[in-house]
Chains A and B, each alone.
Chain A
Amino acid sequence: MSYTAESELVVDNTSTAERLASAVVGLGLVTFVFSLVGVTQVVTAETTILGISLYDFLAGGLLLMGVGTVSLGIGSRTGVFNTSPDATPGAVTAALFGLGAFALAGLVASQSLGLGTVGWLLGATLVGGVTFAGVALAPEDIGSTLPPGVAAIGVAVAILAGIITPAFAWEPEGFSATLTGSMAIPLLLAASTLVTMWGGAKAYEGYGSKGRQTAAYLLVGINAVSIIAVLVALLLFIASKGIGPAFEGFSLVPFEWPFVTNGYSFRPEVVNGVFPAIMGTIWLVIGAVITGVPVAVAAAIFLTEYAEQGRFVGAVEIATNGLWSTPSVVYGLFGYAFLIPRLGGTTSLISGMLVLGFMLMPLCLITSREAIKAVPDEYRDASAALGVSRWETIRSVVLPAAMPGILTGVILGVGRIAGETAPILLVMAGGLRDDAPNVLGSFEFISSPPFVANDALLESAPALPYQLYATITAGVSAENAAAFGWATAFVLLVVVLSFYALGIASRLYFRRRLNA
């Protein structure tokens, strides 16, 4: 009789604890999201929810979370909830809580109580040390719920009681910035919520190694989601600012898209556009692909098909990695010192093409080499068994098989160089212009060496990333300049990210086909 009854009781109690813990975590997620948005000042103290000001509302949530977490811990210790805690929460947890207590106590002592350096240091060390020792010696359920719970209650009370208000200002000594209340409150709320949620998640699984796993997964998951949310928000922000001006005067029938088909004319009645910059970027990419890609693919063939691992290959690998990681501005300096004096003496389109080609070369070399390596040896063996010579095998078996991988590398590399600004800055320049570079129409034969001349290649041309930079240096305060900049940024983003999306999609496609 007692066995069944007891078992039922246990199930019931566990679910109460679980429900309480889920409530803490759920409340925490909402509070965290609002606090994070609060940091960006999209919502501020003036925002009200259900007639309560935002910060008070969030602090109320945090207070509930704190009380919930503390009761979860005490309930587990007194045996009301059925849990399986370890002996201690572990030294790392204790040390982190100790540090947190040290920081909080230090701030309270120096800012609210106004103690001197010796005073706050002493007080903070004392509080931090006691917290560390207490958590390290306490059983796991108490040690991992009480400190966050108490801290949460403390923070919530401080906000609700008006000890920390939006008018609060802390100017750390030696820094020329002030931590204002409108920044400090959401940050404090977010941090406190995270720690309390961690305690709640631990309690949800009844502590122990499973509890630690759940709590860790929660934090790691929140981190991953936040990162992606921030980056996507950034893209959406740029799109929201840029789409408007970029589609000004847009019509489908008859097709008109002034921002993309016009130049920058400095005339108020015409929509200024980025057509020359788009053409410049296209020419840059074409030039860089012509210079960089054949050399890269040829080198990849030599390294995988002909060369034996040795000192030469080792040196080439070091050189490739060196080139791959050399900062783009150093490429720009190199172009400035080496190419410009030899190619007409001024910043020019062809210097930009060559420098970007040099940058593209190592990117493509590494990916092409991987792609050629990935071709199964059976292909080569089968071809050799048919009596086909080595070069014929490479040309008609290996290269076609590796082509998708090579192309993917080229597309990704092009995406990277199309957005590069620093090298162009030094070797090409070219600001806001009305006319696009006319490369094909400028070829001329002359009687003295080098026999071919092309003025369009030898003068600077605009390019999308540089145009964006030029917008900044020209001053965004000018009328419509900021809108023009956002639209340029949007177009640049679309161009570069489409290259990336295309490259990644093709890689996924061919990888899947290879595995199938």
Chain B
Amino acid sequence: MTELPLFDLETRLGRLSDVDRDIGSLAAGGAGCLFATFVLFVLNSTLAVIPLIGFLAVTGYGWYAHQAETARALTFLATASTILILGLITVYVFVEALPVLQRMGVRLFGFTEPVEVFGVTLIPSVESYWSTSQHVYSLIPMIWGTFVTTLIATAIAAPLGIAAALFLAEIAPPLVRETVKPGVEILAGIPSIVYGYLGFVVLNTFLYENLEMANLGSLFLVGLVIGLMALPTVVSVADDALTSVPDAMRDGAVAMGLTEWQTMKSITLPAALSGVSAAVLLGIGRAVGETMAATVILGHSQVLPDPLQDVFDNTETLTSLIASQYGNANGLHMNALFTAGVVLFVTVLVLSIAARRIELRMDRKLGGGQ
């Protein structure tokens, strides 16, 4: 029924004729059928197929009789489905996580020592971080693992990526740029499992032998591999941000007698800063959500490294926790894995909204200046 206002444009002519009434009933019928299909599917009933056939029939007749209006209604439905899918993901991941969220409460982020501020216990202690037999689940080791790998990956991808983007966008001759840029974009497509395989078969043993490590697999290697993986993406997006800075700004600086490098440092980079930081945030988002490389490289132990800063120790990240344990998980254990999903989902959503905000500001700034 919500589609009805859409037809205002058509009804504006004021002719509430039979045709309009026909369209109105069609829209109501189609919407009703679709809604019934959705409800029945969510209720897990095979009967969902009956209203689906009804919907298809209504759409088919609508397409035959009133193509323009039907097309408009269908495109609206498609648009609304983006919100619906995000809503479904949010609801289902949260609902599955709920039993453990209720059971653990703030202790989901608990340490083995209680967290106290001025003698007030903020987070009570947990007996162990991750025990499937006692159903004690604290995400702290995994959050630490994700944090450390993301930090290492960003420390590699951000400075090197931005510098390479600067080279591509500002320094390289056009011919080099035109051949290298597509190459970098293709390299951005290397699937993460391939990096993971390389890390698992080659790099793990290489570091184990050459750094005389105590164990195979380390947060350090995961961070290194993810950083390498995120590099082409950061280069490509940062390059786009740099090239979108209007030439007039550069010309002004050069006319003032600045060298090209000074122009880059003091004009181009600051002007593109928001776009470049959006590129970095994007890279961070990718690093946080990267699953396969971490899963195959790490040795999976759900404890904090001892001592904490030991990045060569073997712990776990949020993503690799899910990927390595879903197979033998059920009941509360599976719900616990969903809490890791919730933390990931929320983190990346916040990052994405921040990146979007920054990008919009950049558009306004550069667009408004012209």
A residues engaging B (CB < 8 A)? 41, 169, 174-180, 182-183, 209-210, 212-213, 216-217, 219-221, 223-224, 227-228, 230-232, 234-235, 237-238, 294-296, 298-299, 301-303, 305-307, 315-334, 336-338, 341-342, 358, 361-362, 365, 389-392, 394-395, 415-416, 418-422, 425-426, 448-452, 465, 468-469, 471-472, 476, 482, 485-486, 489, 492-493, 496-497, 499-501, 504-505, 508
Contacts and interface: CB of A to CB of B under 8 A. Distances in A.
26 contacts: A169-B212, A174-B307, A177-B212, A224-B172, A228-B180, A298-B78, A302-B79, A306-B6, A316-B82, A321-B356, A323-B85, A327-B348, A330-B93, A330-B348, A333-B341, A337-B93, A358-B85, A362-B82, A391-B71, A391-B72, A419-B192, A419-B193, A426-B323, A449-B48, A472-B196, A497-B186
A175 B172 CA distance: 41
B326 A449 contact: no
Nearest to A390: B68
Interface string B235-260: 10000000000000000000000111
B366 interface: no
Interface stretch (B103-111, B123-131, B286-294): B286-294
A175 B311 contact: yes
B279 to A, nearest CB: 13
Interface in B192-215: 192-194, 196-198, 200-202, 206-207, 210-215
Contact of B189 (A320, A331, A451, A496): A496
B261 A499 contact: no
A471 B202 CA distance: 15
A228 B184 contact: yes
A359 to B, nearest CB: 10
Contacts of A415: 189
Interface SS majority for chain B: helix
A330 B92 contact: no
Contact of B193 (A306, A321, A327, A469): A469
B183 interface: yes
Contact of A210 (B198, B259, B349): B259
A90 to B, nearest CB: 11
B65 interface: no
Contact of A180 (B77, B85, B211): B211
List the 7 closest pairs (A to B, CB-CB), nearest first: A327-B289, A419-B191, A298-B78, A391-B68, A302-B75, A325-B352, A213-B261
A322 B182 contact: no
B23 interface: no
Contacts of B57: none
B326 A492 contact: no
B86 A338 contact: no
B194 A238 contact: yes
B268 interface: no
Nearest to B81: A295
Given A326-B349, A327-B289, A178 B171 contact: no
B312 A176 contact: yes
A294 B59 CA distance: 15
B61 interface: no
Interface of B: 6, 41-42, 44, 46-50, 67-68, 71-72, 74-83, 85-86, 88-89, 92-93, 95-96, 160-161, 163-164, 166-168, 171-172, 180, 182-194, 196-198, 200-202, 206-207, 210-215, 218, 220, 228, 231-232, 235, 258-262, 282, 285, 288-292, 296, 307, 309-313, 319, 322-323, 326, 337-338, 341, 344-345, 348-349, 351-353, 355-356
A450 B51 CA distance: 11
A338 B93 CA distance: 9
A238 B184 contact: no
A299 B351 CA distance: 24
A326 B348 contact: yes
B323 A221 contact: no
Given A326-B349, A330-B289, A489-B197, A499 B92 contact: no
B189 A416 contact: yes
A110 to B, nearest CB: 17
B133 to A, nearest CB: 23
Contact of B211 (A183, A221, A296, A362): A183
Contacts of A337: 92-93, 95-96, 338
Contacts of A485: 197, 201
Nearest to A169: B212
Contact of A329 (B72, B262, B289, B313): B289
A130 B288 CA distance: 41
B47 A449 contact: yes
A220 B197 contact: no
B66 to A, nearest CB: 10
Given A321-B352, A337-B338, A327 B196 contact: no
Contacts of B78: 294-296, 298-299, 302
A299 B6 CA distance: 15
Contact of A449 (B46, B206, B212): B46
A299 B231 contact: no
Given A176-B215, A177-B211, 10 more contacts: A180-B210, A213-B261, A234-B198, A237-B198, A298-B77, A325-B289, A391-B67, A391-B71, A416-B189, A472-B296
Nearest to B320: A329
B44 A421 contact: no
B147 to A, nearest CB: 15
Given A179-B211, A224-B167, A468 B186 contact: no
A421 B262 contact: no
Contacts of B197: 468, 471-472, 485-486, 489
Contacts of A493: 190-191, 194
Given A299-B75, A468-B193, A422 B292 contact: yes
Nearest to B89: A334
A67 B201 CA distance: 43
A301 B50 CA distance: 29
Given A230-B228, A301-B75, A178 B164 contact: no
Contacts of A183: 210-211
A333 B96 contact: yes
A328 B289 contact: yes
A489 B150 CA distance: 25
